[in-house]
Structure 1
Amino acid sequence: MAVILAFALNASTSVLLGLLVAGLLGPADFGRFALATAGSIVLNTLLFEWLRLSATRFYSGRTREEAPWIRYGLDRAYLALALVLFAAAMICAGLGIEAGAGSRGAMLAGTALAGLGSGIFDYHLALARARFEGRLYLGLTMLKSLASVALMAGAAWFLREPAWVLAAAGVSQLLAVLLLKTPLRDPRRPVPPERLRETWRLFTAYGLPLIAATAIYQLLPFLNRWALSGWADFAEAGYFALAGDIAGRSLGTLGIALDLLLFQLAVRAEERHGRAEAEAQVARNAAVLAAVLLPCAVGFWVVLPAVEALVVPEAYRGPFAAYAALLIPGFLVLALTSFALSPVFQIRRRTGPVVAAALVGLGLDGLGLALLPPLLGAHGVALAQTVALAGAFLWLALRVLRGPERLRLPWREIGAAAAASLAMGLVLLPFRGLAPSLTLAVCLPLGVLLYGALVWRFDVAGLRGMARAEVRALRRVPRAS
C-alpha cells in the first residue's frame, strides 16, 4: 500500500511540476530546460543506472545480513562517481559565472547537478524497495516531492532561468536522502578486499548491458527534441517536450511503481524456489502490467482534449494534444518492454538481447527522422519515436517467446485485459466531445467502474484474488487496544 501511495504522490507531483515549470518559463526556455533534463537523465543512466539495477537484483533483506559486501560495494562505487560528477558540475559553474545563468556553462552545471541528485535518490529508493520497507520508500518520496515543488517552482518563479531550475531539481532529491540518512544505513561490518572486487565485477557484467539499453531509450527523446529545435525552433521542441513528459510520466511512472513490487517478487521467488519459479512469476507480472497499463493508456487518450483544456498552459494548447496522441502508444510499449519483457533477461543474467532491442529502436528512430518530418512536418518526429519504440518491443518479444527457453505468458489474461480496455474505451468515446470539466467528471469514475467491474467479473490477471488477499491481510492486522 505504501508503494502505491508513493507512486500516486510521485506521479501527481511530476505532472504538477512539469506544468508549473512550463507555464513559468514559457515554451522557448522550457524547450531548453526539457533538452537539458533529457541530458541529465542520460547522464544519470550512464553513470549510476548499472549500480541501481544491481541493487534491485542483488541486494535484499537476506544479503543485508549474510553478504554485507553487496551494500559496501554499492556505496563505494556511488561515492566515487558522485564526486566525479560534482567536480564536473563545479567546473562548469565556474566557467559560466561571468557569462550568466543562461550560458552554456551554467546549463551544463545545472544538468550535472540534476543528474547527481537523481542518481543518489534513485539508489536509496532502490535500497528501500529491495528491503520491502514501504514506509521508508514512501517517506523518501514525500520528502522529495515537497522539496521539489518548493525549490523548483521557486527557482522558476523568482529566477526564470532553466539552469537554476535544474540545480533545484538535484538539490531537492539530495535533501530527501540526507533527511532519512539514518534508517537507510546498514550495520558496519568488515569486508574482505577480494569480496569487493568480485562484487564490482558482478555489478559490471550484470548492469552495463542494461544501462546501455536504457541510455539508448533515453537518447531518443533527447535526439528528437534536438532534431525539432533544429528543424523548427526551441518553442516547437518545448511543445513536444511537454507532451512527452506528461504522457511518458503518466505511463512510465505507473510502470515503475508496479515494477517496484513485481520484480522484487521475482527475485525473492528465485532466492526461495529457483529460476523456474522466478520466470513463472515474471510471466504473471506481465499479465498484471498489461491489465493496469492498457486501460490507463486508453483512458488517457480519451480524456486528452479535456486535460489539455483544463491543466495545460495556454501557450502549449493545440500542439500538446496532437503530439501526445502520437506519443501515447510508444510510451505504452516502452513500459511493457522495460517492465514485462526485460525482467526475463534480468532474471537469467543475460541482458545482451535488451541492448540489441534498444539498438533496433535507435535505428528505426533515425530512419523515421529522415523520412517522416518531410512528409508530415513536426508531427513526423513524434511518429518516428513511437515507431522506434514499437519496433524495439516487437524484436524483444520475439526473443522472449521463441526458442527452447521461451517464456509461457498467460495469454488469456492478457487478452482479457486488452478486450476490457477496448470495451471501456468504446463506452467512453462518446463523452470525449463534452465540455472539458464534464468529460473528466464523467469519464474518470465511469471508466474506473466499468473496467473494475470487468476485472472483478473475469478475474483479469488474478487481480480479484490479489485484492481479496490484501483485504484479508488488513483484517489480520491487530488493532491497538
Structure 2
Amino acid sequence: MAVIAAFVVNAVLNLALGLLIAQILGPADFGRFALGTAGAVVLTIMLFEWLRLSATRFYSARVRDTEPWIRAMLDRAYAATALGLAGAAVLLLAGHPLVGEPALLAAAAAGAAVGIGLFDYQAALARARFVGGLYLRLVLIKNGLALVLMVGTAWATADAAAVMLAGGLSQLFAALLIRRALADPPIPHGADRRRDALRLFMAYGLPVVAANVIYQLMPFANRWAIAAAAGFAEAGYFSLAADIGARLFSTLGAALDLLLFQIAVLAAETHGREAGEAQVARNGAVVLALLLPSAAGFWAVAPALDAIAVPAAYRGHFVDYTLLLIPGLVALALMNFALNPVFQIRRRTLPLIAAGGVGALVNLVAALALARPFGPHGIAAAQSLGLLAAMLVLGFRALTGPGRLRMPWRDPAAVVLATAAMTVAILPLRGLDPWLALPACVAVGGLVYGGLVWRFDIAGLRAAVVARFGRAVPAEQGLEDPMSS
C-alpha cells in the first residue's frame, strides 16, 4: 500500500506543480523551462539510466549480502558521472556571458540532471529491496522540497533556468537525506568483480538507454521545431499539454512497474526464466488494464480540466494539444512498462533500439508532411504517429515468432471492450458544465469500468484485491505485494 500511496501523492503534486509553474512563468518562459527540462531528461537518460536499470535488474536484498561488488560498482559509477556532469554545468555557466541564454539553459539542465539521476538511483534501490515505506518517504520529501523551492524560485525570479535548477536541487536534497537508510555495509571484494559488473551493466542497459534517448529526443526536437516556427509561447502551449499527459501516464506506469517488474525479477531468480516471463505477461495485462481506461478518462475530462485548472493563458490550446498527444503518450507508457520488460527479463535489449529508430523516422517524415498544412498541431500529431509506430514494431517483435511471449488474449480484449463501454457511458457527460462534467465523468467511468473489471476479473485484478484484503485466493490468480510494508 505504500507504493500506491506514493503514486497518488506524486501524481497529484506533480500536476499541481506543473500548473503552478505554468501560471507563474507564462507561456513564453514556460516554453523555455519545458525545453530546458526536456534537455535535462535527455541528459539523465544518456548518463544515468543504464545504471538505474541495472540497479532494478541486478540488485536485490539477496545481492546486498552475497554480491556486494554490484552495489559498489553502482555507487562509484554514479558518483563519477555526477561529478563530471556538475563540472560541465559549471563550465557552461562560465560561458554564459559569451554565449547568452542557451548556455544558461544548458547549465541549468546539466545541474538538474545531477539531481534527477541521484534521486532516481535512490528510488531504484528502494524498489529493488521492496522497502515501500522508505520509497514513500523519499517521494514525500522530494515533492515537498520541489513545491517550496520551485514555486518560490518562480515567484522570486520568473527565470526558467533558475526554476529548473531548483527542481534538480529538490531531488538532490531528497536523495541525500535518505541516503543513509539505503546504505549497504562495507564488505571486502576484488576490483575485478566490479569490472565484471560494469561490463554486465553496459551490455544490459545501453540498448535500453539508446531507445529511451530516441524517445526523449523526439519531443525535445518537436518543441524546438514549434518554438522556431511559431515562437516560445506556442512551445509553451504544447509543452503544458505534453508534460501533464506524460506525467499522468508515466507516473501511473512507474507506480505499477515499481512493484510488477521486481516481482518478475524475483520469479526469474527463484523459479527460472519461464516463470519470470509468465509474470511479465500477467504484468502487461495489468498495465494495459489501468493505462487504457486512464487515457479514455483523460480524454473525456480534458475540456473540464481546461476550464477549471489550466491557467487562462493556455486555455483552448491545452485541449487541442492534449487530444493529439494522448495516443502517443499511451503508446510510450505501454512500451516502457508492458513491452520493454519482455526484453529486460531476457537480458536481450537490442530490439528496443530498432523500434526507437522506426519511431523517430516516422516522427520526422510525418512532421515534414503535416507541419505545412496543420502548423504546430501537425508536429504534435507526428509525435503520436512516431510513438505508435515504435510500439507496433516492438509489440510485433515481442508477441510473434518462435520466441514470442505467451500471453492469453482474453485480458487485452476484455480491457478494450470494457474501456469502450466506459467511454460510451461518459461521452454524453462531456457537454455538462465543467464543474459537473469532471466529477460525473470520474464517478460514472469508475463505476462502469470498475464494475466490469470486478464482474469478469479482468487482468486478475479482482483476485488481487480479494487476495490482499479478503479471503485467500491461489497465488497464481492474483498479484502478491512484497512492497506493502
TM (norm. structure 1) is 0.96
Question: 1:13 maps to what in 2?
Answer: 13
Unpaired stretches in structure 1, ≥5 consecutive residues: 475-481
Pairwise mapping of residues 134-149 of structure 1 onto structure 2 (< 5 A)?
A: 134-149=132-147
- 8 A Cα contact 2:304 2:437, kept in partner: yes
Rounded to whole Å, the distance in 1 between the matches of 2:101 and 2:321 is: 29
1:477 — aligned with what?
none
Q: What is the aligned counterpart of 1:329 among 327, 330, 336?
A: 327
Greater shift in the superposed pair: 129-138 or 328-337: 328-337
Using the TM superposition, give the Cα deviation of residue 99 of structure 1 relative to its aligned residue in structure 2, in angstroms.
Answer: 7.3
Residue 103 (structure 1) shift: 2.6
Give the Cα–Cα distance (whole angstroms) in 1 for the partners of residues 301 and 131 of structure 2. Answer: 35
1:34 and 2:48 equivalent?
Answer: no
2:477 match: none
Structure 2 residue aligned with 1:53: 53
**Residue in structure 1 matched with residue 383 of structure 2 by the alignment:** 385
Letter in 2 for 1:169: G
Tell me how far apart the structure 2 counterparts of residues 184 and 94 of structure 1 sit (CA, whole Å): 35
Distance 1:262 1:338 in 2: 13
Shift of 1:369: 1.2
- Residue 482 of structure 2 corresponds to none
Cα distance in 1 between the residues matched to 2:326 and 2:41: 20
> Which residue of structure 2 lines up, in the alignment, with residue 4 of structure 1?
4
AA aligned opposite 1:20: L
Q: Name the structure 2 match of 1:278.
A: 276
Change (3 A) 1:22 1:99: farther
In the alignment, is residue 301 of structure 1 matched against residue 294 of structure 2?
no
User: What is the aligned partner in structure 1 of residue 402 from structure 2?
Assistant: 404
How far off is 1:15 after superposition?
Answer: 1.1
Please tell me the residue identity of whatever aligns with 2:421: A
Query: 1:410 Cα deviation (Å)?
Result: 2.1
1:234 matched residue in structure 2: 232
Q: Which amino acid aligns with 1:355?
A: I
Which amino acid in 2 is paired with 1:333? A
Cα distance in 2, alignment partners of residues 386 and 169 from structure 1:
27
Deviations 1:100-144 (A, max 9, x none): 9x7333222211111110000001100000000000100000000
Checking the alignment, whether the CA contact within 8 Å between 1:287 and 1:410 is kept in structure 2 is no
Instruction: Indicate the percent of aligned positions where both proteins have the same amino acid.
Output: 54
- The equivalent residue for 1:66 is 66
In 1, the alpha carbon distance for the partners of 2:401 and 2:433 equals 52
- Structure 1 residue 95 displacement after superposition: 2.6
Q: 3-state DSSP class of the match of 1:400?
A: helix
What is the match of residue 453 of structure 1?
Answer: 451
Secondary structure in 2 matching 1:239: helix
Hey, what does 2:218 align to over in structure 1? 220
Helix, strand or coil: the match of 2:95?
Answer: helix
CA contact (8 A) 1:400 1:407 kept: yes
Most deviating of 124-133 and 17-26:
17-26
Deviation of the 1:243 alpha carbon: 0.5
- 2:73 and 2:209 mapped to 1: Cα distance? 18
Q: Distance in 1 between matches of 2:176 and 2:42?
A: 24
* TM-score normalized with structure 2 length: 0.96
**Residues in 1 aligned to 2:389 and 2:434: alpha-carbon distance in whole angstroms:** 34
Secondary structure in 1 matching 2:226 = helix
Question: How far did residue 59 of structure 1 move?
Answer: 0.3
Q: Which residue of 2 aligns with 1:478?
A: none
1:89 maps to what in 2?
A: 89
Partners of 1:388 and 1:154 lie apart in 2 by 37
The reply on whether 1:346 has 2:344 as its aligned counterpart is: yes
Question: Are 1:126 and 2:124 an aligned pair?
Answer: yes
Question: Which of 236, 245, 249 pairs up with 1:247?
Answer: 245
1:81-230 correspondence to structure 2 within 5 Å: 81-96=81-96, 98=97, 103-230=101-228
